[in-house]
Structure 1
Amino acid sequence: MKQELSRRSFLVGAGVLGAGLAVSMAGCAPQAAGSKGASSQATTASTTDGPAFLAAPEPITDVKETLEGDVVVVGLGLAGVCATRAAAEAGLKVVALERCPEPSARSGQFAVFNSDRARQMGIEDLDTAELVNEMMVQTGHRADFRILKTWADNCGEAFDWYTGAYDGLLWQMPDGEKYDADSQVFIRASNVFEPYRFGVDHERVFSGTMSFSAPERGGHKPVMLANFEKAQATGNVDARFNARARQLVKDGERVAGVIFEDVTTGEHMQVNAKKGVVLATGGYVRNDELLAYYIPWIYNMKDRYAFTYAHMDVNGDFTDQGDGMLMGHWAGGHIEEGPHCAMAHGDLGKLGVDAFLQLNALGERYINEDLTNDHFGSAIVRQPDATIYQIFDANFPEQVKHMQSSLGAVTSVSPEIAATVDEWTSAQGSTIDELIENLDVDAAVAATMKTEIERYNELCEKGLDEDFGKTPERMFALNTPPFYAIRYEVDGGPSTENSNALRCLVTMSGLSTNKHAQVLDENLHVLPGLYAVGNTQGGRFLGDYPTTIAGASHSMAMTYGYLTGKFIAEQG
């Protein structure tokens, strides 16, 4: 019989294991029906107090062996590796559990500022309160200012520590030697944007991003593995791979350990933690039940997205199932209130999200086109047939220079790209009528398109966008042939074919924590002994992932892993 619990109350399941510790939850996170496939459907059953996955499963009692440590880190992605290294370097005995056969990494952009290295790379210092206040606006003030500010105040220090683990790492200075990503591991400053101009730029963005490059599109993985090796070199780390955490163990009100399963044998082992358990299992983007419940606007349109970064265990099962968030909840932790956040975005190919005229499948202009990456994605999937047309004329190579620089924007076009425009556009025409005819839309849509283009040209001539308020600097009349259109239909598809699909990378909401990453209970008081970092940690992003500063997700995972390992050691 499963015990059931509401979002506001937790009924502890009992069992006695190991050194007299009470088991407060057990069992695995519920698997979404057909969760391996992109078209699987959620089958969440309701209990009297909510969906079935909120109910604590029965305790696990068949524990083969018990280990002892100061800290247990659950998950060896970026946040978990940083927490492991920081705790081990502080002298703590760390047992690190990872469901995959090796540590997992993705991509390579990190928001970094206010450090000597950042300044050397041409990144100007930021006012962290100013940055965080804008991020609070972008998240509807649902995020925790203190969590964001702690990250912003410490990310430079954490990045210097993180990159210091890799001997021979190259730094590509703005005016220095250019390195080869096919043979060298290096860092460069990226997404360096022009200063925000109030009343001109539609969205406020900040510069302060560094990007890793490595052979085989390795991103920051070589550096992350160097950090893990640095942790192991302390002699304080016992790393267990193919190890899926299944439950947390409590001693009274304190979280005091973890029971994990060897996914190759099915056997269970327990690890007792004297000082704390750090949940760093990532998000739940591959768990259909959680996705349908917490982010239905993604789940209900998931066939429109390419789900990328498919980390799997040796059994071929996706690992980003929300294990840490669920285990923390079953132990008494609070899953933050929504709207939960997913990193879901895309672009328009060669011209990115540049603010050229956009018409939807009905031929209607539908938005101020001056958007950043994630907000563009949110808008397009809400249009008829999830289809839009980006329309421009022969002057586009010069016009892109006037676009707001931001994540996903294009502010320069090479002569080679300009010369091949017929290859990467959907239709061309020597007149507007010919362009519309070549788009092969029905008569009603064609008539609407022509009316909307005439209206747009009229507004451009006025120098005032009376309809959507786009800045005059980006109102370019369609006057100079030939004319071009990119038809962009969001239709999902494999992650290797993203030109016509938005990407859904990860979920980014989880357990409520304070600024020290300590998990909070249902009354938002500290749940002793439990921490959450990376995409298991709440309080960071709600609603849409804001591109206020590129690379914030990686940077927070790194910084909070680093700070949390140190914090646990400092508690004595």
Structure 2
Amino acid sequence: MEVTRRDLLKLTGLAAAGAMGAGALASCAPKTPAESADLAETGAADAGLPEFLAAPEPITDFVDTLEFDIVVVGAGESGLAAVHTALEEGATVACVQNIGTAQSTGNMGASVDTTKTDEAGIQACVAFLMEKNAHRSNRKLIEAWARNSYEAVTWWADTAATRGVESKPFDTDREYNGCPYSLHANTYNHVEGAHNAAALVICDALAEDGAQFFFDSPAVQLYKEGDRVAGVICSTEEGNVLFKAAKGVILASGDCSGNQEMRDYYCPDLRGFKTMSPFRDGMGMMAGIWAGAQMTPVNHSKMVHGGGSLTRLEMPFLNLDIHGKRFMNEVLSFAYLNNLMRPYLEEYSFENPMAAKFFTIMPANWNALGQEWAATYPEEVKFTVGTRKVPTDDQFIRGETFAELAANINAYMAEEEWGIDPIDETTIVESIEAYNELCATGVDSQFGKRADYLAPIEQGPFFAVPRGTNSVPAVLGGLVVDENQQCLSAEGTPIEGLFAVGNASGQFYGGVDYPMDIEGLSVGRAITSGYVTGRYVASL
């Protein structure tokens, strides 16, 4: 029998032709009964698809079987939040984790402060995020975050504070299309371990409340009874253990940024950038695919940032690349700068992520100029992120002259072992001088920067700020879910017993890049999606 395009979608768990392109799907589909048989025998690779999409043989032998109402896969912020609300509703809960501890990354967890925001403001925030996500998001998921996030992140902060890990709140007022709304974020950058310090103590609190945690127990398959997902199979030192779930399995296993094959397939934009969290191996999403769930179509949104507090010093002074030349209009949020870095990464065969770095050149009066700009354009000019301290001159590369600054830039790269060829120092000097001449004209005939920002580099000493985003905290796609975070099949029908939250779930984002416009959105969304889903599944 001929394998149809629909059959291929079922095989791979892909959502639609948009995942690969209609032509690619057509070319992959077998055309004859013999080809269909070959596909069954040889699997996804010979169909032009990566191996991880092919389901392995079901595991049927277990050294032990444990029974719970709910099994949560992953002990990050989304998993811990799901455990909490499930327990609160009276469910018995197991949480299985592939490593030996609860683990979260990041610093800030954002919410809409619904005590200060009316319905119009909620809808304005949702509309803003839809725009930032290229209108590829499931609006219901964003709205669920906006309505429930304040309750969720407040629970997180209060629970951590009772155990000595206190958040510093970061509150901002915004407006979109004339409608104001208020944002509130937990921040932990002042705490050793940042957000993970809170996760660890919250995990301890949940264990005392009755949750059972099973660490070093990676999920390897989902267990099905007919069409229903009825549990999770985990690999342990003793062997495979079946964790049965009477109400449902919640995949809170994070993204696939640590799985190079999945990363290359779902987000090819990330070639050359380094991975921050190798343990985020995409295993939960693969298990979901093998159980019939579908993935968000390619290209998944990418989160690329790193480099500490200096990364967020967003001042539209002169930017010079690793060849000492101006390469951009400097009015661009750092979250999107990585899109300009591919040619530099390619120069180093995509093997040195430091090629994505560059330098912002600033005069001695940078702070005063920045304050003036920020007063007029607060969304474009930023001294730092959240509650972090504003950088000071002693954190920058310094030179009394342009020539000394150029020499010190090369010395810095060598000392930090960037593995980047030394920059011709004459080129650096000439680029700064040419920029000053351009500023004197009042018109950026090179890259079209707003005239307000054409401030020459005249007052010494001069500073160079090493910047650039070259690491990948997350790949923001995941399993397609409905408004209850329930996973959907290729036909768009809910898969009984299977849910996904946080970065294991898709359709919250949609643009090429993760939108940094609401600081802490990723962590806030993860906490909130787990929070509402644990409660929902416990009610079934």
Q: TM-score range by the shorter chain?
A: 0.7 to 0.9
Amino acid at match of 2:368: E
Shift of 1:301: 0.7
- Assess if the C-alpha contact under 8 Å between 1:76 and 1:281 holds in 2: yes
**Residue number in structure 2 paired with 1:546:** 515
**Residue number in structure 2 paired with 1:39:** none
- Assess if the C-alpha contact under 8 Å between 1:347 and 1:408 holds in 2: no
Query: How many Å separate the matches in 2 of 1:71 and 1:407?
Result: 45
Q: Deviations over 1:67-96 (max 9, x none)?
A: 222211111111111111211211112222
Cα gap change, 1:392 to 1:241, in 2 (>3 Å)? closer
- Assess if the C-alpha contact under 8 Å between 1:46 and 1:52 holds in 2: yes
Matched, 1:378 2:312: no
**Residue number in structure 1 paired with 2:365:** 395
In structure 2, the residue corresponding to 1:260 is in which secondary structure? strand
Instruction: Give 5+ residue unaligned stretches, structure 1.
Output: 13-43, 170-183, 199-203, 311-317, 491-500
Amino acid at match of 2:68: G
Corresponding residue to 1:161 among 146, 155, 163: 155
Corresponding residue to 1:293 among 265, 284, 303: 265
Query: How many Å separate the matches in 1 of 2:127 and 2:102?
Result: 34
Amino acid at match of 1:56: A
Matched, 1:485 2:454: no
The 5 Å alignment of 1:133-282 reads 133-166=127-160, 168=162, 185-190=165-170, 192=172, 208-212=184-188, 215=191, 217-235=192-210, 237-262=211-236, 264-265=237-238, 267-282=239-254
**Residue number in structure 1 paired with 2:295:** 335
Corresponding residue to 2:392 among 409, 417, 438: 417
Instruction: Give 5+ residue unaligned stretches, structure 2.
Output: 1-5, 14-42, 348-354, 410-421
In structure 2, the residue corresponding to 1:528 is in which secondary structure? strand
TM-score normalised per structure 2:
0.78
In structure 2, the residue corresponding to 1:325 is in which secondary structure? helix
Query: How many Å separate the matches in 2 of 1:359 and 1:553?
Result: 30
Aligned length: 479
Task: Tell me the C-alpha RMSD between the 2 structures.
Answer: 3.8
In structure 2, the residue corresponding to 1:150 is in which secondary structure? helix
Amino acid at match of 1:218: G
Cα gap change, 1:368 to 1:53, in 2 (>3 Å)? same
Q: Deviations over 1:115-139 (max 9, x none)?
A: 45xx6xxx99992222222222222
Query: How many Å separate the matches in 1 of 2:384 and 2:207?
Result: 44
Between 1:397-406 and 1:55-64, the stretch displaced more is 397-406
Cα gap change, 1:224 to 1:480, in 2 (>3 Å)? closer
Cα gap change, 1:362 to 1:381, in 2 (>3 Å)? same
- Assess if the C-alpha contact under 8 Å between 1:76 and 1:103 holds in 2: yes
- Assess if the C-alpha contact under 8 Å between 1:282 and 1:320 holds in 2: yes
Query: How many Å separate the matches in 2 of 1:63 and 1:164?
Result: 40
Q: Deviations over 1:424-456 (max 9, x none)?
A: 21x6354x6776687685488458625741453
Query: How many Å separate the matches in 2 of 1:411 and 1:107?
Result: 15
**Residue number in structure 2 paired with 1:320:** 280
Identify, as 1 or 2, the structure richer in helix: 2
Shift of 1:98: 1.5
- Assess if the C-alpha contact under 8 Å between 1:185 and 1:213 holds in 2: no
TM-score normalised per structure 1:
0.74
Query: How many Å separate the matches in 1 of 2:256 and 2:80?
Result: 19
Amino acid at match of 1:537: S
Shift of 1:458: 3.1
**Residue number in structure 2 paired with 1:509:** 477
Amino acid at match of 1:208: H
Amino acid at match of 2:479: L
In structure 2, the residue corresponding to 1:519 is in which secondary structure? strand
- Assess if the C-alpha contact under 8 Å between 2:251 and 2:501 holds in 1: yes
Shift of 1:51: 1.0
Q: Deviations over 1:321-340 (max 9, x none)?
A: 10111000011000110211
In structure 2, the residue corresponding to 1:210 is in which secondary structure? strand
**Residue number in structure 2 paired with 1:449:** 431
**Residue number in structure 2 paired with 1:81:** 80
Q: Deviations over 1:349-372 (max 9, x none)?
A: 658232111133455433221222
Between 1:407-416 and 1:359-368, the stretch displaced more is 407-416
- Assess if the C-alpha contact under 8 Å between 1:294 and 1:338 holds in 2: yes
Cα gap change, 1:561 to 1:369, in 2 (>3 Å)? same
